[in-house]
Structure 1
Amino acid sequence: MTTATEIADTIAGEQKLTKAQAKAIVESVFRQIAAAAKGGAETNIPGFGKFKVKETPEREGRNPATGATIKIAASKKLNFTPAKAVKDALNG
């Protein structure tokens, strides 16, 4: 697993920034993606992929312990679709 701190450390080394500066930039990027998603906007990062909000309608499910039917509330999920370059890197 790679963490935000590890990403920031790599960026700091590549861009000659302090680790604190790089971490602030990484956290800012993540906040901007989350804020766009909260507003319902899609975030497209060319060469990397798209973050898009998907709405899931309310549905019926079953409690696995009792078998009783329950309602599962509608929710929003953040989907990521990788760009072709990322897909090719994974499968190449």
Structure 2
Amino acid sequence: MNKTELIDAMAADAGITKAAAKKSLESFLGNVESSLKKGDRVSLVGFGSWSVSKRNAREGRNPSTGKTIQIAAKNVVKFKAGADLGKAVN
């Protein structure tokens, strides 16, 4: 399912226009993004939680040349599925 299909499904389920569903989805995504940028954790009980983790700098290899390269440190977003979501897909 892509973003457009999700908007269509949200509109149908909630009985709202696609424009309203798109605005709601973009608001949700924007709020999750801003919370993660601040270093906060976002948790939806039963569905899952997003958090930011720091990945340290490390050495890697260029697969085509085999040459050693330095990979910079960065922040990565992690998602952990909740119990209800885990049960739903199994």
TM-score of the pair, normalised by structure 1: 0.90
Count of residue pairs the alignment pairs up: 90
Structure-1 separation of matches of 2:62 and 2:7: 42
Amino acid at match of 1:17: I
Deviation, 1:65, is 2.2
- Name the counterpart of 1:30: 29
Deviation, 1:86, is 0.6
- Unaligned ranges ≥5, structure 1: none
Structure-2 separation of matches of 1:45 and 1:61: 35
Deviation, 1:90, is 1.3
Deviation, 1:62, is 1.2
- Name the counterpart of 2:58: 59
Query: Which aligned runs of 4 or more in structure 1 are off by greater than 3 angstroms?
Result: none
Pairwise CA RMSD of aligned residues? 1.1
- Name the counterpart of 2:79: 80
- Name the counterpart of 2:10: 11
